[in-house]
Chains A and B, each alone.
Chain A
Amino acid sequence: MTIEYRDNTASLSGFISVEDAESLMEWLRSHPDGRLDLSACSHLHTACLQVLMAASVNPATGPQEPSLAVWLRNTLSP
């Protein structure tokens, strides 16, 4: 499962592996106002997580997976 970049939205689904970290970082750089859709995401690798943290983005749509949702809320909310 991977990340789908469409217009101003990146949809993360399933398991986001370490290989996706770089592309995610590039996308966030070129789309500072980009929307993140994590609804179908079940887990993301630490490397991707820290990219989200460094970019200080709050996903527009949080993951449906409850434990990940809590984690991201704890981590990404100020």
Chain B
Amino acid sequence: MNPLLQQFIQEARDLLQDISTHLLALEDQPDSSALMTELFRQVHTLKGNSGLFDFPEMTRVLHAGEDLMDAVREGRVRYSRQLADPLLDAMDFVAMLIDRIEPGGSYDAGYAAAAEGFARNLRALLPEPTVQPEQFAETVRPDPVAIVLPALTGVPEAARMAAWRAAESGKPLFMLGYRPDDDCFYRGEDPFHQTRQVPELLWGTAVARQAWPPLAELDCYRCQVDFYLLTSASRTALQEHFRYTPEQIRLEPVEPLSLIVPTGHLNGGPVYRDFVAEALELLDAQDREGLELLIRTLLDLSSPDLWLASDLRWLLVVLETRPEEEALLRRLIEALNSLTGPDLSDLSASASLAAVAALPEALPPSGSIERGQVESVLATQLEILALPDQGAWLEGRIKSVAVTVKACLGSLGEPAAELDAALAASLTSRSAQPLRHWLHARLQGGEAPGVEPPPVQAAPVCEPVAAAQPVPGEAMPEGIRRDTEDTRPSHGRDDLQPGKILKVDQARIDRLMNLIGEMVVAKNGLPYLANRAENQYGVRELAREIKAQYAVINRIAEEMQDAIMQVRMMPVSFIFKRFPRLVRDLARKLGKEVELALEGEDTEADKNIIESLADPLIHIVRNSMDHGLETPAVRQAAGKPVTGHLLIRALQESDRVLIEISDDGQGIDPALIKRKAYGKGLIDEAQLERISDQEAINLIFTPGFSTADAVTDLSGRGVGMDVVRNAIDRVGGTIELASHPGRGTTLRLSLPLSMAVTHVMIIESNRQIFGVPMDLIVETVRLPQTAIHTIKQRKTTVLRDQLIPLLALNELLAMDAAPLANADGELATLVVRVGNEPVGLVVDEFHEVVDVILKPLPGELARLGCYAGSALLGDGSVLMILNPRELL
């Protein structure tokens, strides 16, 4: 699997755990914004990370969760249990997906519907379902398509006329809607400044997104305005201008003909029939000058606010720019009859207008760029013409310029008649002046007048106005935006690893552990070497030096061992943190009110110990919840507080970790246990009479014991406390149970801090050595033959008034040799505790206690239950460690 995915899985697990912890914590403090913010951040991070891979189902669910939490964070929804349940369910679903991903790197398709269901459940809790339509989008920014561009009639006539003229000169026309982010001010953006700098701006306005609130309630630092502009810049120039916020703009090409919309007061009826007839006559007679005069006369007589006046003004504009467009002129004139806008939609098909109309759409970028380049060529020609008029090559120069200019104009589709006249004048006068004047005038006046004086520059594509206008330093939007843009994506990842925490594969730590184990063994060989040097070769001096060196290596090795052990240490919170969720879910399922308290969560123990604790602890907690704590009604009747208390406490006591689980429930009734045990045949009649209450309670650890009358979903499936005890035993722990009927039950687990190093006592029997774990040894005694009695053919002894059965190790290991007694005729007896019974193990001799690194037996040998494992001794010999529990 690729390392990135591996890391993702690991982080996702951590994040999911944190998320569920926070969800639960929020139930207690639903108003904590700090918790909510943290929760949101975690879900957000997880969602972002999942987006790196192709897990759309996971991302979809997380996205819905994120939206919901965002709503809670902003106070649009109140956090409650109703919210927590679907969120927890959704997170469980994500955790399930992660589990599926881990082995193969992906999960099989078919979760899409489930994911959709979870996402829908979450979204159903959102206040307005319209907040985010059902879609799979990374962004929560305003949707650019949502920007509704205003109708062209909203644009003042003057601006539309300017646009018309711009289109006439071959420029593209665009209507642009710009909806800045709400919080763009905090990123140093000034959308108004940005829009004012839009190239070739013809018209622009700012419009409130919604009706303004009273001034007192206005949040002036949230951008609440949209901008609409009409511009004749090319599409590329506009996209370049808004390149940092492309998702916030909407760009629509504008059809030039659609600009011609007369507006104004209708005032009275159509009383201008004479004018219409006369104008049409002049039009038919191709008398454009007469027509223009006629129009101007009527215009002078009319109030400029009238619809009529507006129509006349458009007539003048069209007459000026497109005198050959008879059909268009006719429509405009005839419109005066009805005082309704001329329908020009079919006209765009007419050849010449179509060329203008289609050009900006078909070739939006090149039109403008080409134009810029052409202008620069023309400017160069002007420079050439400015050279002194002398020499024989003047005529050639003028002609060459004329050819170039003509070609340029041709490429722009402009007529060259005037050029020819100017060229002729220049040639006859043998001076560049006429041509130069013409070209100069052409360059000055070639641009359509706009709202802003449009600059004539070599490359008008690149924000000409921004360069021309000095701007105070505070508003350098480019730089600031670029900065924020660069830093933004990294936030999520940085947050992931607070401090310097290294995540290492456990196998690497295990390897270190093995190596240090070998080192300890090798180190322990040094004293043997020193002894040989002294005894075998008689070099005392050397022996002493070896011993000194050994002391140094010993110290370092021990420290190293300790350090590696520290690495393996984990706080019990690793398993504790799943309890709040467990208790909450169980309580709701059982209809009980339970308050969980956790203590000593930072108590540490070896990773293996902690991990092996997880299942037993869950089992114990389930038992407490199911059998221990009562329902609120029962508790109330018993005069107890309605809410039951469950305490899980961890503490360290020398080299053991103690874990205590106590509840204030009904406790365990010894009489009931006895009856049950008898009924199941676990004890006989005699025992039923004899055993004490404490012993009776301990019967719940007997295999096959279950008190529950009905098998519930939670516990009571016969895999009872014996499973718990075995699991604890396996890691060398013990379990104690104390119960007071009516007042509660306490379970106390005691576990070693670390399993890595085992203290064993070396014993000898039949000239072989064995190790016995120290934690099982109660005492070592030497028994005189007289102290050994034979009862029912079994050897026993009485030690401090307690009857202890004696077993010979040789016999247990099927070695045909009698135990050796010492010079005084005493037998070495190791008293070990197995379960709750002390047993005497008769051996030949006791040796020293050593720290060994216990290695389980490999392969088939692991099935030899009488051995717990093997260890290497300093002299290189192998020590077999006995497992008295299996042995006896």
Contacts and interface: CB of A to CB of B under 8 A. Distances in A.
Interface string A44-61: 111111110111100000
A50 to B, nearest CB: 5
A33 B201 CA distance: 33
Interface string A1-45: 000000000000011011001100100110000000000000111
B211 to A, nearest CB: 10
A58 to B, nearest CB: 14
> Which of B180, B206, B208, B475 has the most CB atoms of chain A within a 10 A radius of its CB?
B206
Contact of A21 (B207, B220, B471): B220
B224 interface: yes
A51 B472 CA distance: 21
A47 B196 CA distance: 15
Interface stretch (B186-194, B297-305, B412-420, B431-439): B186-194
A67 B223 contact: no
A70 B449 CA distance: 14
Given A17-B475, A28-B215, A47 B220 contact: yes
B225 A45 contact: no
A59 B474 CA distance: 25
A48 B224 CA distance: 11
B180 A50 contact: no
A75 interface: yes
A46 B216 contact: no
B630 to A, nearest CB: 60
B192 A45 contact: yes
Main secondary structure of the interface of B (DSSP, over half): mixed
Interface residues of B, number: 31
A63 B196 CA distance: 15
B224 A45 contact: no
Given A17-B475, A18-B185, A25-B218, A46 B156 contact: no
Main secondary structure of the interface of A (DSSP, over half): helix
Contacts of B193: 43, 45-46
B221 interface: yes
A45 B471 CA distance: 12
A53 B185 CA distance: 17
B156 A67 contact: no
A53 B203 CA distance: 18
Contact of B212 (A15, A54, A66): A54
A74 B156 contact: yes
Nearest to A71: B204
Contact of A15 (B156, B216, B224, B474): B474
Contacts of A56: 212
A29 B196 contact: no
B206 A53 contact: yes
Contacts of A75: 205-207
Nearest to B220: A21
B206 A50 contact: yes
A14 B212 CA distance: 27
Nearest to A21: B220
A9 B863 CA distance: 97
Nearest to A43: B193
B225 A74 contact: no
Given A18-B185, A54-B208, A46 B191 contact: yes
B478 interface: no
Given A55-B215, A70-B451, 20 more contacts: A15-B475, A17-B472, A22-B221, A25-B215, A25-B218, A29-B215, A43-B192, A43-B196, A46-B190, A46-B192, A46-B193, A48-B220, A50-B206, A50-B223, A53-B206, A53-B208, A53-B225, A54-B213, A67-B452, A68-B196
- 4 closest A-B pairs (Cβ-Cβ)? A54-B212, A46-B192, A74-B205, A21-B220
8 contacts: A17-B472, A43-B196, A45-B190, A47-B185, A47-B220, A50-B218, A67-B196, A67-B451
